[in-house]
Amino acid sequence: MAGSATPNMRDRPRGLSTLVFRAALVAVLLGAIVGPLAGLVLWSVAERWHWPAMLPQQIGLKYWIRITQGDLLTALNRSVTIATVTTVAALVAAIPVSYGAARARLPLGPVLLMLFLLPQAFPQLPVFASATVLFYRWNLAGTFAGVVLIHMVGGLVYTVWTMTAVFRAIGEDVEEAAINLGASVTRTFFRISLPLAFPGVVASAILVFIYSLDEFTGTLLVGAPYVTTLPVYMYTASLGYELQIASVTALVLMVPGVLLLVLLERFLRAEYLAFFGRL
Amino acid sequence: MNAARPVEQALWWLAAIPATMVIFVGFGLPLVQSVVASFTRDGVLTLANYELVYRLYRQDVVYTVQVAAAGLALTFGIGIPLSGYLRLHHSQTAEFLLKVPLFVPFVVVGHAMRIFLAPRGTLLVGLHALGLASPDTTLAISEGALGLSMALAWKHLALVVLLLMGAFRGVSEEYLEAARGFGAGTFRQIWAVLVPMAAPSIGLAVVLSLTSMLASFSIPLMMTKGSGPQMLMIDLYYRYGQHGDIGVASAIGVVSYLLAAGAAYYYLKGIAR
C-alpha cells in the first residue's frame, strides 16, 4: 500500500504553490461536502426564517425538543425497533447460508449467494411496488411484519456476503482439530467457528442495522399508511414544508452513520466501506 | 474437510430455507409478478401498458437517461482527477471528507440538497457570507435536472472515489516512477498511467453508478416538484400510488430493468473484449 508510510513520494521539496493548491483542494471539499449538511443544522434551529434575511431571525431548540415527544419520538422508537428485529432476523437467517457456502457444505452454494445479490442488481422500486400488491393479498401491507420482511430482503445481502467472507477467513484446520478430538460438527460450529467469527458478526449487524434505519423505498410502499419510520416521517414533514422538522429528523438519521464512520476509521477494515455506497 | 453426510447435507439445506424464502417472497416473486403485470390489463395479455408508457413517459425516459448521464459526467469528471491526485499526493483530511457522503442516507441527501440548492437556499447564504453573492441573487437549481444530477453526484462520488482509490493503489509504484523519470507531472501520471491501468475498475464503477442513478428514487422524490419532466421512478411511484395502476407502473419498471441491464451488458461486453 502506498501512502501511509511515504505521504509524499516526490523527492524534491514541496513548493509554495503545491501547498496552496492542497489547501485550496481541502477548502473546496470542505465547502462542497460539509456545506449541504451545514444547511440542515441551520434549518433545524431556525425558529423563524423569512426572506430576505440571510440568517434565521430567531434561533432556538424548539424543533429539537420534538424528538422527546409526540410523533417524532414515536417514529424514532418504531425505527429502532424495526432495525433491531431486522438485524437479529437477518443474522440468524444468514448464518447457515453463509457458513454452508463458505465450507462448501451447501450444494449450489455459489448460486444461492448470487440470489442474495439480486435486490442490489435490480431497480428496487418496481419490485417493491409489486411486492406491496402481493403483501396486501397476504395481509402483510401496513404491518410491522411486512416492513421487517421488506427490510430483510435488502439486509440479507449485507449479512450473507460479509458473513461468508468472515467464515472463509477462519481456518478450517481449527475446526478439523475439534472434530478430530471428537466434537460433533454442530458443537464445533457453536463452540469454535461462531466465537471466532464474532467480530464479523458485529460488523454485519451494524451494517444491517443502519441499512434498516435508513431504508425508505420499501417502507414507504409496504408500511403505508400505518408504519411510519424516521425516513418516511422526514419525507412527510418535507412534503408539508415543515423544513425544520425534516432537518431535525435528517440530522437524527445521520447520527449512527457518523458514529460508524469514526469507528471504522479506528477499528474496522476498509473492505466493509464499499457496502455503504448502497445505503 | 471430509465430505458431508446426507443427513447433515439435508440439515444445511433446511437451515438455508428461511433466508431463501425471504428473498423469494420479497423479491423473486414480486420481480416475476411485475413483468407479468406489465403485459396484463384487466386479466388479458396485452401491450397496452407499454403503449401508454410510450405515449406518456417517453420524454421522461430520455430525461432520466440525461440526468443519469449528467450525474455520471459530474461524478467521474471530479472523481477521476481527484482520486488520481490523492493517489499521488496522500491527504488524510481530503480522504476522510470524501467518505462522509457514504454514511449519509439517500433521503437525507435529497432533503439537504433541496434546501441547499433552493432559490434562496443555504448555498446562497454561504456564498453571501463569503461575499460572492449579492443579497438579491436567486438560484434556480434545485428543481431542475442540474440540481438533481448534482445531488446524485454528491452521493455517488464517495463510493466512486473509494473504488478508484483502491484500483489506483493497485497500480505498481514502479510505473509511476518510470513516468516521473520521463518528466511526467501529476496530470500525465493520472491520464497516461493510472487511468489506463485501472480501466476495468473504472468501468465497474461507471456501471454501478449508472444503474443506481437510473433507478434513483428517494433523491428525486425529495427534490422534485409537480411540473415538468420527471425521473422514471417518480412516474412509477405516482402511477402506482395515486392511480393504483400496477400495470403501467410495472411497464415503467420493466423499462428501468432494461436500462440497467443495458448498462451491465455494455460493461460485460467491454470486459470480454
Nearest Cα residue in chain A from B160? A277
* Residues B14 and B96 grouped into a single domain: no
Domain membership flag for residue B221? yes
Q: Shortest CA distance to B72 belongs to which of B196, B254, B166, B211?
A: B211
Q: Which residues pair with A46 in a beta bridge?
A: A59
* Residues B29 and B146 grouped into a single domain: no
Q: How far apart are CA A50 and CA A57, in angstroms?
A: 7
Contact A130 B246 (CB under 8 A): yes
Domain membership flag for residue B121? no
Domain membership flag for residue B213? yes
pLDDT at B230: 92
Domain membership flag for residue B134? no
pLDDT at B43: 86
pLDDT tens for each residue of B64-99: 999 999 999 999 999 999 999 999 988 888 988 998
Domain membership flag for residue B172? yes
Q: How far apart are CA B138 and CA B21, in angstroms?
A: 53
B199 touches chain A (CB under 8 A): no
pLDDT at A150: 96
* Residues B26 and B78 grouped into a single domain: no
A67 vs B1, more confident: A67
- Mean pLDDT, residues A156-181: 86
Alpha helices (H) along chain B: 6-23, 29-38, 48-88, 92-99, 106-117, 122-129, 145-169, 173-181, 186-189, 195-197, 199-214, 218-223, 232-241, 246-272
* Residues B10 and B78 grouped into a single domain: no
* Residues B29 and B148 grouped into a single domain: no
Share of chain B above pLDDT 90, in %: 59
Angle between helical axes of A243-266 and B106-117 (0-180°, round to 10): 130
Q: How far apart are CA B75 and CA B73, in angstroms?
A: 6
Assembly ipTM: 0.88
pLDDT at B131: 79
Q: Shortest CA distance to B192 belongs to which of B205, B181, B208, B203?
A: B181
* Residues B165 and B220 grouped into a single domain: yes
Residue B13 pLDDT more than 60?
A: yes
Share of chain B above pLDDT 70, in %: 96
Domain interval for residue B164: 46-114+140-272
Task: Using the structure block, give the residue that is written with the C-alpha cell 407479468.
Answer: B36
- Widest pairwise Cα distance in chain B: 78
Residues 41-80 of B with CB under 8 A from A: none
3-state secondary structure of A143: coil
- Chain-centroid distance of CA A203 in Å reads 11
B82, B84, B88, B92 alpha-carbon torsion, rounded to 10°: 40
Contact B30 A131 (CB under 8 A): yes
Q: Mutating which of B111, B134, B234 best tests the A interface, going by the most A Cβ atoms within 10 A?
A: B111
- Mean pLDDT, residues B233-246: 91
Residue B107 pLDDT more than 50?
A: yes
- Mean pLDDT, residues A43-66: 82
Alpha helices (H) along chain A: 16-44, 70-102, 109-121, 124-137, 144-169, 172-180, 185-188, 194-196, 198-214, 217-218, 230-239, 243-266
Quote the mean pLDDT of chain B: 88
Domain membership flag for residue B205? yes
In the DSSP assignment, the letter for residue B28 is I
Residue A12 pLDDT more than 60?
A: no
pLDDT at A10: 47
Residue B151 pLDDT more than 50?
A: yes
In the DSSP assignment, the letter for residue B144 is S
Residues 102-121 of A with CB under 8 A from B: 103, 105-107, 112, 115-116, 118-119, 121
Distance between B146 CA and the closest CA of chain A, angstroms: 16
Share of chain A above pLDDT 90, in %: 37
* Residues B189 and B241 grouped into a single domain: yes
Domain membership flag for residue B129? no
Domain membership flag for residue B126? no
pLDDT at A64: 87
Which CATH number covers residue B92? 1.10.3720.10
* Residues B92 and B222 grouped into a single domain: yes
A263 contact residues in B (CB cutoff 8 A): none
Q: How far apart are CA B273 and CA B266, in angstroms?
A: 11
Contacts of A99 (CB under 8 A, 6+ apart): A105, A163, A167, A189, A193
Q: How far apart are CA A108 and CA B2, in angstroms?
A: 18
CB atoms within 10 A of CB B255: 25
Q: Shortest CA distance to A1 belongs to which of B173, B57, B84?
A: B173
pLDDT tens for each residue of B139-150: 777 678 899 999
The number of folded domains in chain B is: 2
A56 touches chain B (CB under 8 A): no
- Mean pLDDT, residues B138-167: 88
CA distances to B106, B112, B191 from B221, rounded to whole Å, are: 10, 13, 37
3-state secondary structure of B40: strand
* Residues B170 and B243 grouped into a single domain: yes
- Mean pLDDT, residues B38-51: 92
What pLDDT band is residue A151 in, cutting at 50, 70 and 90? very high
pLDDT tens for each residue of A236-262: 998 888 889 999 999 999 998 888 878
A106 vs A219, more confident: A219
CB atoms within 10 A of CB B231: 27
- pTM of this structure: 0.87
B184 touches chain A (CB under 8 A): no
A169 vs A34, more confident: A34
Quote the mean pLDDT of chain A: 84
pLDDT at A9: 46
pLDDT at A55: 79
Q: How far apart are CA A223 and CA A146, in angstroms?
A: 7
* Residues B31 and B86 grouped into a single domain: no
* Residues B1 and B110 grouped into a single domain: no
Residue B1 pLDDT more than 50?
A: no
What pLDDT band is residue A79 in, cutting at 50, 70 and 90? very high
Distance between A191 CA and the closest CA of chain B, angstroms: 17
Task: Using the structure block, give the residue that is written with the C-alpha cell 468472515.
Answer: A166
* Residues B155 and B206 grouped into a single domain: yes
Q: Report yes or no: A232 and A82 within 8 Å, Cβ to Cβ.
A: no
